[in-house]
Structure formats: C-alpha cells, structure tokens
Amino acid sequence: MKKNIKLSTLNYPSSNNYCVLGMLYENKIYHSINIISYQTESTKWKFNVSDDFTEADEIIIQKLVNTKEYQEAKNIFTYLGKSPEIDTSIFIERAWKDGKNIAIPLCVDDKNMIAIKIKDFDDLEVGRFGIKEARYNEDLLMEKEDIDLIIVPCARADRHGNRLGFGRGYYDRYLEKTRAKTILLIREKQVAQKIPMGKHDKKIEKIITEKTVT
C-alpha cells in the first residue's frame, strides 16, 4: 500500500546527501587539500583524494554480481556511491542490463528514508549542494517488504559485518524490519580489525572487498 509521505526541510545540510552519497560526515571528516582523514576513538584511516580506486571497485562489483544474493534478487536498494565509497554507478548499470529493479535512498526527515526506483541516471536531479539525488515520486516508491537485496554504505567496516556509517543512523533504522539480504562493499584498505557496535547498530550479512567475500 502506498503511503502519504511529507518531505521535511531539515536544519542541517542536505539530509538527502547523508542517505544518497554519505559524503557529509558530521565533523568526523577533516579535510585538507590532498588528504581526507576518517577518525574515531578506535579507528583511523587516511587516503589521498587523488587515489585511483577504479580497478578495485570494478573487482568488487564483479564479485557482487557473482553472489547468489544478487542473482536471485529482483528488487535491489542501493546507494549512489562516490569516493571514498565504492562507485556504485557501474553496479547500477550492470543491474539494469540484468533486468533488476533498482531503487536509491531519499531521506524524508531527520530519521527516515525511503527507496525510490530509478530506471536511468536522467531520473536524478541536482540537489541543494550540487549532488544528484532521486526525485520524490510516490508512484516510484519501492516498498520495504518488496526489497530482496540492500547494498549498505559505510566509511569503514570489519570482517564480521560491523560498520561505521555516517552519523545519522538511517540504515540502522531502515534495516530493523526487513527480509532483504544485506551486503556491504568496501576496499581492503578500509577494513578495520574491529569496529565497536552500539545497541542499535545492525550487522551486515556479507562483506565484499576486492580480495575476499566473507
């Protein structure tokens, strides 16, 4: 059943960016000209913004499409990834070719997001901060109970399915009641030995890097 959803204007920058791209890190990221540093009490990671992750991302996407979870999925909910996340545009294009239904996140308030189906990158619009995001359209809503696979974003993760997100808890809340399989994509250099988990944090079922599937 379709739900009437009221989009809210939030008092922090571009709420949709937390869901769609995860590029605003709420004071957890410190920028300089050439280096971005992600740091918490237990983890620290730096990379050059000029690093080329193309080969690693392509390997990760190929491993993803080889999984049973992907091959059996009809409806897939994924984020629009941009460095330091995996570039998921190549995954989305492959999924379209394979006849999958693809939805991306759209935040409706400061706690909740919905899945909006897209069939082409032209279905996106430029948001307040120049970042592309889904257009709200109730007819394109992918209901949570219809989703077969969710690709979850992160800044860092360990091999046990624990992840560091981007500070707003959208995915942890979204994953509370879903039958969908969950997969996290991450490069080896971003894998931590151990990520501390809070009581509301949700473990991800499968972790894919350019070297391993766990």
pLDDT digits (tens, 9 = 90+) for 18-32: 444 333 333 333 333
pLDDT at 166: 64
Convert the pLDDT of each residue in 114-155 to its tens digit.
999 999 999 898 865 566 788 899 999 999 999 999 999 988
Q: Give the confidence band of 171 by pLDDT, cuts at 50, 70, 90.
A: very high
112-115 contacts at long range (C-beta below 8 A, 24 or more positions apart): 112/170, 112/173, 112/174, 113/19, 113/170, 113/174, 114/5, 114/141, 115/77, 115/141, 115/142, 115/143, 115/144, 115/147
What is the average pLDDT value for the chain, to the nearest integer? 79
Rg, the chain, Cα only? 16
- Per-residue exposure over 48-69, b if at least 16 CB sit within 10 Å of its own CB, e if not: eeeeebeebbeebbebbeebeb
| pLDDT at residue 2 greater than cutoff 70 | no
For 81, how many CA atoms within 13 A lie in the half-sphere containing its CB?
26
- DSSP-derived secondary structure letter, 146: G
Higher pLDDT, 32 or 50: 50
pLDDT per residue as tens digits for the range 67-123? 999 999 999 999 998 766 788 999 999 999 999 999 999 988 888 999 999 999 998
Residue 153 DSSP one-character state? P
Domains defined for the chain, CATH in brackets? 15-208 (3.40.50.10420)
